[in-house]
Amino acid sequence: MNWLREHKLFSVIAGIVLVLCLVIIVSFLSAGGSSFIGRGTHKVVHVIETPLSYVTSGVRNTVAGVFRYSSLLKENEELKEQVAKLEQENKDLTLSKDDLNQLERLSGVFKFDPYKNKRSSIAARITEIDYSNPFIVFTVDRGTEEGIKNNSIVVDGNGLVGKVFDCGKGWSKVVSILSENNNVSFKVLRRTSVTGVISANSEGELSGYVMNDRAKIVKGDTLVTSGIGVYPEGIIVGKVSTVDYDEDRQLKVITVRPSVDFESLQKVAIFK
Amino acid sequence: MSFKKVTFLFLLTFLFQLSVVNLIEIKNAGPNLVMCMMIIITFLYEEGYRSIPFGIFFGLLLDICAGSYVGPCALSMFAVGIFAAACHVWLNVEKIITLIASAIISTVIYQVAYYGIMKTLGSPMGIEYAAKMLPVYIVYNVIVLVIMFLVMHKKAEEYHNDRYTNEEV
């Protein structure tokens, strides 16, 4: 005790470091989940941050719109063409009302519910994100009151964003696929028999391997989730950017560029 | 500087950190306003080291609101706080060149500490990627610190003058 009194400054620093290390260990053991103190704090901060984030995203969109006017016009034309094409495809694919009724009656005979596994989604806005470190973790303005729970899947218009790892009333914390430690099981959209596993790599992209080393996978192939594990089937993950053969592991290894542009992410959809 | 003023300034930077920085981020990187506020108060005020607990507290809040785990930001902030307090004792921190050098070293300390903790906790991010992002954080933090210095330096001088005047009286 005397030694601690004599070395007061050292003792204080060591004490603070020790307490913070304990906080980190506890947080790690609870997989980043908040305690009731954390949830309460989050709730208060969220109330203040939400209107502020609405204002800043509004300003950001307006400023970006002014600078990107010509490119937006071009994009608009392209989207119009795309919509026309999709409308045509939609017409070709849509079942007639009679056909649909017949199929629904038929499904009743077999006691088959076609919507049993259908997940409903909810739109959410990013309210809090910290850009002072390279890890992409953010909070959105929807939470448990909407049925969101841990491991709910988060997507945007381009594909898979990540998953919810902590949530409360009015907020959910999301970790992106680029910052989480888990693997994502995938299949190739063009050839669904080709499957594999990818995870975040050290260069801020995704990398992994294909199950069958003779499988045909090429640069530019689109990957979607296979349905094995946390992520449901069919969500676009990204495009293959490199394909190599690792002779040591005798595996075909790939690098994938995520389809989601994490820089301009402002709104997401969450599958409950 | 009074407790109320420090609390208000940290609260403001904390709220801006999670939302307003969104307007100026490039490649998912932006300044660390809370860290810059802690450094500048430590540098400019006589008992500026008292801002370190604020840095730790608001670091914990940042972890709670936008971090994978609670604690890494607070611990990194503490490391930077100790460095800033040491600079205050050993260097002439009111020179702009010292401020810039300190901002660079502080950003490196913060990022290395944060990355080290996250890597220990199993993050897949590689050192190359973190190193690639480092110059962006340095540039941002240097700019923010210089702006804060220019705004707050005069106020701090007034504070010093008032104090000496009172002592003479």
Residues 28-67 of B with CB under 8 A from A: 28-35, 56, 60-67
Q: Considering the domain boundaries, does residue A195 fall inside one?
A: yes
- A47 confidence band (pLDDT: 50, 70, 90): confident
Tell whether A140 and A23 lie within a shared domain. Answer: no
Q: What does the pLDDT read at residue B57?
A: 92
Contacts B70 to A, Cβ<8 Å:
23-24, 26-27, 32, 34, 38
Chain B contact probe: residue of A26, A132, A136, A172 with most B CBs at under 10 A: A132
On whether residue A210 sits in a domain, the answer given is yes
Which of A67, A131, A266 to mutate: most B Cβ within 10 Å? A131
Which two structure tokens, joined as six digits, stand for B143? Answer: 């700019």
Taking only Cα atoms into account, the Rg of chain B, rounded to an integer number of angstroms, comes to 16
The model's pTM: 0.77
The answer to whether B100 faces chain A, any CB pair under 8 Å, is no
Residue A136 pLDDT > 60, yes or no?
yes
CA A251 to chain centroid, in Å, comes to 27
Nearest to A228, CA basis, from A265, A196, A181, A252: A196
Q: Are residues A138 and A271 in the same domain?
A: yes
Asked if residue A177 has pLDDT above 90, the reply is no
Domain coverage including residue A10: 2-30
Q: Is residue A7 part of a domain?
A: yes
H-only helix segments in A110-194: none
The predicted pLDDT at position B143 comes to: 93
CA distances in angstroms from A30 to A35, A226, B152, listed in the order given: 9, 28, 41
- The domain segmentation of chain B, as residue ranges, is 3-168
Tally the domains of chain A.
2
Query: Which residue of chain B has the CA closest to A172?
Result: B65
**Residue A109 resides in a domain:** no
**pLDDT tens digits in sequence order for chain B, 169 residues long:** 788 888 999 999 998 888 888 888 887 888 999 999 999 999 888 877 888 999 999 999 998 888 888 889 999 999 999 999 998 888 877 788 888 999 999 999 999 999 999 888 888 777 878 888 899 999 999 999 999 988 887 766 666 555 555 544 3
B3-168 architecture in CATH? Orthogonal Bundle (1.10)
Q: Is the pLDDT of residue A132 over 70?
A: yes
Among residues A163, A176, A135, the alpha carbon closest in space to that of A261 is found at: A176
Tens digits of residue pLDDT in A212-231: 777 788 888 888 888 888 88
B137 class by beta-carbon count within 10 Å (0-12 exposed, 13-18 middle, 19+ buried): buried
- Among partner residues A139, A202, A263, which is closest to B129 by beta-carbon distance? A202
Collect all residues of chain A within an 8 Å Cβ-Cβ radius of residue B124.
Answer: 179-181, 199-202
**Average of per-residue pLDDT across A7-36:** 83
Residues on chain B touching A201 (C-beta within 8 angstroms): 124, 126
Name which residue leads in pLDDT, B166 or A260. A260
Count of pairs with CB atoms under 8 A, one residue in A, one in B: 160
pLDDT band per the 50, 70, 90 thresholds, residue A114? very low
Percent of chain A clearing pLDDT 70 (strictly above):
85
Q: Which residues contact B127 (CB under 8 A, 6 or more apart)?
A: A202, B115
What band does A111 get if pLDDT is binned at 50, 70 and 90?
A: low
Contact list, A24 vs chain B (CB under 8 Å): 69-72, 75, 117, 121
Instruction: Considering only residues A1 and A210, tell me which one the structure prediction assigns the higher pLDDT.
Output: A210
> Residue A137's pLDDT is what?
87
| Mean pLDDT value of segment A205-209 | 85
What is the reported pLDDT for A92?
65
In a shared domain, residues A155 and A268: yes
Cβ contact, residue pair B22, A56, below 8 Å: yes
Token digits of residue A134: 């390279």
| Strand spans (E) along A20-149 | 121-129, 137-140
What distance in Å separates the CA atoms of residue A131 and residue B145, rounded to the nearest whole number?
17
Mean pLDDT of chain A: 80
Q: What are the chain A neighbours of B27 within 8 Å (beta carbons)?
A: 263
Position B165 scores a pLDDT of: 53
Q: Is B71 left (phi over 0), alpha (psi -120 to 50) or beta?
A: left
Residue B161: what pLDDT?
58
CATH code, A269: 2.40.10.350
Considering the domain architecture, whether residues A143 and A271 belong to the same structural domain is answered as yes
The answer to whether the complex's ipTM is over 0.85 is no
In this predicted structure, the answer to whether residue A90 has a pLDDT above a threshold of 80 is: no
Q: List the single residue in A48, A55, A137 with the smallest CB-CB distance to B66.
A: A137
The whole-number pLDDT of residue A115 equals 46
Confidence of residue A265 (pLDDT cuts 50, 70, 90): confident
Residue A83 located in a structural domain: no
Give the span between the Cα atoms of A133 and A205, in whole angstroms: 16
Q: Is residue A253 part of a domain?
A: yes
Per-residue pLDDT, B138? 93
For residue A102, is pLDDT > 80? no
Residue A37 is assigned to a structural domain of this protein? no
Q: Which of A145, A142, A149 is nearest to A124 (CA)?
A: A142
